[in-house]
Structure 1
Amino acid sequence: MSACKCSGVISVETALYGRADSVTCSEGQPSYKTSTTDCSLTDTLALLKRRCDGKRVCELNANGFGGSDPCRGTYKYLQTQYSCFPATHQVTCEHSLAHLHCDEGLVINVYVADYGRHDQTTCSYQLSSSKIRNTDCSRPTSHVSESCNGKNSCIVEASNSVFGDPCVGTYKYLDVAYICEYPKSTPEESMGSINTGVFVPDISSTVDLRLDLLKTMLHFRLSTTLLLAATCLLMREVVSTDKVITCDSSSNVQHLSCDMGVISVQAALYGRADNETCDEGRPQQQLANTECSLEGTVDILKKRCNGKKLCEINRNVVHTSDPCPGIYKYLETKYTCFPAIRLVTCEQSLAHLFCDVGQVIFVYGADYGRRDQTTCSYKRPASQTENVYCSHPTSKVADSCNGKNSCTIKASNSVFGDPCGGTYKYLEVAYTCIYPGVLPKQSLSAR
């Protein structure tokens, strides 16, 4: 099962669990199991909306509907029709600050926010398995919409003190989807039905902001997991800028990600620039020095994250020395997402970079190694995919391909060296196509 993802979010329009015809999901089933065609479970739509509205990706299976059977003896299916709405999607790891912001003259309208954990990969950098094992603890919250709706910018801390603790012992994150819109004429209209924490799109306010609407009908067997992914017909070349602040702790993780395109770090600070950020529970003497910054932080972030779709780091990466002993510090990163072609090539395969006639390749960044257990893992033993901390940046792709119309390079140890013996590796490349002599509007510095 595959899906095209974009920066939009899901809005479930209709859903049916039961059977509406005798043809769908009928293969291999006796006729008596498909003859009832007016069978549907009440509240299926409400359940799908609660689970999926406002998210980029939503997974569920038929077990979620097993509480009651609308037609015993009939072979049923789950059918969902949904739309994709453009939105800013932001993930903030526990003990970090979510910074929601809009351009001048626009205000925030939060579609949905969840605090907890619903996968084992997000905000997982160097965490023990016990802290990411529970993936069924994410719950909706109205706190973000209540705090941020109608404002031009807003900062919310992803912490148990703000949202409660849905799963003790699990390292959590805050997942927010929001849009920027022009202020409504009245405060009542401005809040609408969004501040419940559940996504209910206001078509009248979003129709001018949407990409072309794609409506998709999906039919799946009961044994198949249903994957809803916010899918759009067009990828707009929109550059977005985000800021993430992570309070100082050796266990805290900073999460940078781009729904579309790749990361370009613009600025980074490890230290303290004010006495309010990450100040909860701290005595004044730990907040007094507001001109504290570690030199070279932005270079470290650029080297680790530029050209990637997702980058997770913790303060140990930048804590090479202490710029201000006795002061409680934080890591603040500003980064931009902009369009790029992203290519993943498994070890011993050939990566083929190419551009249209008249254009040439410009490589943003490349890494060779492994940083997750799923990419290039087909029929590989666990021992070859378990080391996810061996991916190394390389300039060899840029050196070989920049300025050419097409370029082929082998993903192999003989080309890039072996960063992790015994691990099956892959090459990740982010590049764009430009006209000769014209650099991209935003080029990433050499990594």
Structure 2
Amino acid sequence: MLCFSITLLLSATCLLVNAVAETVTTCEGDNVHRLSCDIGVISVETVLYGLADSGMCSGGKPLQEVSESCSPLRTVDNLKTRCNGKRVCEVTESVFGASQSCSGTFKYVQTNYTCLPAIHLVTCEHSVAHLQCDVGQIIHVYGADYGRRDQTTCSYKRPPSQIQNTDCSNPTNIVSDSCNGENSCTVKASNSVFGESCVGTLKYLEVAYVCEYPDPKAEESTHIGVISVQAALYGRADNVTCSEGRPAEQLQNTQCSQDGTKDILKERCDGKKMCELNMQLVRTSEPCFHTYKYLETNYTCFPAIHIITCEQSLAHLYCDVGQVIFVLGAYYGRSDQTTCSYKRDANQLENVYCSRSTRIIVANRCNGKNSCTIRVGSPLFEDPCVGTHKYLELSYVCEYPELTPV
């Protein structure tokens, strides 16, 4: 017997001040190049498409394919147009076009970007977007896009045919031209304003903007923390919790506790922003027959750097000078259908119960170093679900190393 819904949900809402620049590297091939911000929106700084480092993405490649004589293309405008102002942006190398100077050379895409604090607004087609600032402040638009990039946004009661095209993107300057410098602004999300980018698809307008004083004031940016499980109980510690409608004999044993529950929760949840797990995974034994049980978890939100890297891309971990990496958690697999999903077949995304802890592997490679690069995929990580397109989710902190007394 137990008292709990089928899913345990832990979510972290801690804030970490002072955003740092992010770097994403994706090797050549039909791979997803994914930029994302936990808080705020993307602002692309630099983009490199080509080969500037022969050691990057060179595993198993013949020498002639990794020559550093390839002059990389810096196609920052392409990615700025597609990604600035979004929380998540997924593209493939096709958006960069062909690099004739690098013909026959194995290439990669590397993007440096920051996460800017912003107001993020999504407005469904045929509705009106309202941009509003406080008295004395004015609007500054970071980016706007009219189209569709997933099958869930603005999908209520819509037939599949209207939401299946997720490769419908139309970055636009219309919003910034209309609203920049204004205290408030109204824009209708419609084809008559933005044009018809994909016939038959229900679209939405995605806008990111900030409110600033005419003499802009500096603002700090924030990031989300991650889960750190402190204690977990599966059993019963009192006769009040989850007691409604239960006979007294099912509540009287208050010394009931399953061994190892905390370890299960820590293994599956530490280092994540959100953790959902099936109770069947927690209930490994019967600690007390004829007692109505419950699961109780105490956890904190630990300030940390949280990154997600798509399969066949490179995860970059780095700290300020004098600091070293300490990995809190790492998981390889898939737990939702939207992350790293750009231009992927549905059968590569449907298994969302595919996740394996890789903390020890990542920690062994990165802990104690100032910077570290991990290539996501085999042979480093075993495949937890063949045929599923996976990603690496990890969190870490930067700390000063302990000094050994002389």
Give the TM-score, by structure 2 length: 0.51
Q: Secondary structure at the match of 1:240?
A: coil
Structure 1 partner of 2:3? 77
Question: Given the alignment, which residue of 74, 79, 85 partners 1:307?
Answer: 85
1:228 to 2:10 alignment: yes
Query: Shift of the alpha carbon at 1:408?
Result: 1.0
Query: Shift of the alpha carbon at 1:330?
Result: 0.8
Unpaired stretches in structure 2, ≥5 consecutive residues: 221-406
Query: Shift of the alpha carbon at 1:226?
Result: 4.5
Structure 1 partner of 2:195? 417
Q: Distance in 2 between matches of 1:439 and 1:384?
A: 43
Please tell me the residue identity of whatever aligns with 1:438.
P
1:372 to 2:150 alignment: yes
Structure 2 partner of 1:393? 171
Q: How does 1:289-328 map to 2 (within 5 A)?
A: 289-295=68-74, 297-328=75-106
Query: Would you say the 8 A contact 2:130–2:185 is kept in 1?
Result: yes
Structure 2 partner of 1:430? 208
1:262 to 2:41 alignment: yes
Please tell me the residue identity of whatever aligns with 1:243.
T
Please tell me the residue identity of whatever aligns with 1:386.
Q
Query: Would you say the 8 A contact 1:238–1:338 is kept in 2?
Result: no
Question: Given the alignment, which residue of 238, 252, 257 partners 2:18?
Answer: 238
1:354 to 2:280 alignment: no
Structure 2 partner of 1:247? 27
Q: Distance in 2 between matches of 1:439 and 1:318?
A: 35
Go from structure 1 to structure 2 and tell me whether the alpha carbon gap of 1:238 and 1:252 turns closer, same or farther (over 3 Å shift).
Answer: same
Unpaired stretches in structure 1, ≥5 consecutive residues: 1-70, 79-220, 443-447
Query: Would you say the 8 A contact 2:50–2:99 is kept in 1?
Result: no
Q: Distance in 2 between matches of 1:393 and 1:281?
A: 38
Q: Secondary structure at the match of 2:161?
A: helix
Query: Shift of the alpha carbon at 1:440?
Result: 7.2
Query: Shift of the alpha carbon at 1:441?
Result: 7.7
Query: Shift of the alpha carbon at 1:237?
Result: 5.5
For 1:83-118, what per-residue CA distance to the aligned partner results, in whole angstroms no more than 9, with x for missing partners?
xxxxxxxxxxxxxxxxxxxxxxxxxxxxxxxxxxxx
Does 1 or 2 have the higher relative contact order (CA < 8 Å, sep 6+)? Answer: 2
For 1:197-228, what per-residue CA distance to the aligned partner results, in whole angstroms no more than 9, with x for missing partners?
xxxxxxxxxxxxxxxxxxxxxxxx45xx5443
Query: Shift of the alpha carbon at 1:342?
Result: 0.2
Q: Secondary structure at the match of 1:418?
A: coil
Q: Secondary structure at the match of 2:100?
A: coil
Query: Would you say the 8 A contact 1:238–1:339 is kept in 2?
Result: no
Q: Secondary structure at the match of 1:293?
A: coil
How many residues align? The count is 220
Divergent runs of 4+, >6 A: 439-442
Please tell me the residue identity of whatever aligns with 2:27.
C
- What RMSD, in angstroms, separates the aligned Cα atoms of the two structures? 2.0
1:274 to 2:200 alignment: no
Give the TM-score, by structure 1 length: 0.47
Structure 2 partner of 1:285? 64
Query: Would you say the 8 A contact 1:362–1:401 is kept in 2?
Result: yes
Query: Shift of the alpha carbon at 1:327?
Result: 1.6
Query: Would you say the 8 A contact 2:42–2:116 is kept in 1?
Result: yes
Query: Would you say the 8 A contact 2:70–2:102 is kept in 1?
Result: no
Q: Distance in 1 between matches of 2:127 and 2:8?
A: 32
Please tell me the residue identity of whatever aligns with 2:85.
G
Q: How does 1:114-193 map to 2 (within 5 A)?
A: none
For 1:62-84, what per-residue CA distance to the aligned partner results, in whole angstroms no more than 9, with x for missing partners?
xxxxxxxxx3xxxx432xxxxxx
Q: Distance in 2 between matches of 1:416 and 1:317?
A: 21
Question: Given the alignment, which residue of 95, 109, 116 partners 1:331?
Answer: 109
Query: Shift of the alpha carbon at 1:239?
Result: 2.4
Query: Would you say the 8 A contact 1:267–1:335 is kept in 2?
Result: yes
Query: Would you say the 8 A contact 1:346–1:426 is kept in 2?
Result: yes
Q: Distance in 2 between matches of 1:276 and 1:392?
A: 36
Q: Distance in 2 between matches of 1:231 and 1:438?
A: 28
Q: Distance in 2 between matches of 1:379 and 1:278?
A: 44
Query: Shift of the alpha carbon at 1:356?
Result: 1.1
Go from structure 1 to structure 2 and tell me whether the alpha carbon gap of 1:307 and 1:439 turns closer, same or farther (over 3 Å shift).
Answer: farther
Please tell me the residue identity of whatever aligns with 1:398.
S
Q: Secondary structure at the match of 2:126?
A: coil
Q: Distance in 1 between matches of 2:213 and 2:12?
A: 32
Query: Shift of the alpha carbon at 1:324?
Result: 1.7
Q: Distance in 2 between matches of 1:440 and 1:406?
A: 21
Identity of aligned residues (%): 58
Please tell me the residue identity of whatever aligns with 2:3.
Y
Go from structure 1 to structure 2 and tell me whether the alpha carbon gap of 1:354 and 1:236 turns closer, same or farther (over 3 Å shift).
Answer: farther
Q: Secondary structure at the match of 1:316?
A: helix
Q: Distance in 2 between matches of 1:439 and 1:238?
A: 16
Go from structure 1 to structure 2 and tell me whether the alpha carbon gap of 1:237 and 1:350 turns closer, same or farther (over 3 Å shift).
Answer: farther
For 1:370-427, what per-residue CA distance to the aligned partner results, in whole angstroms no more than 9, with x for missing partners?
1100001111111111111112101111011100111111111111111111111111
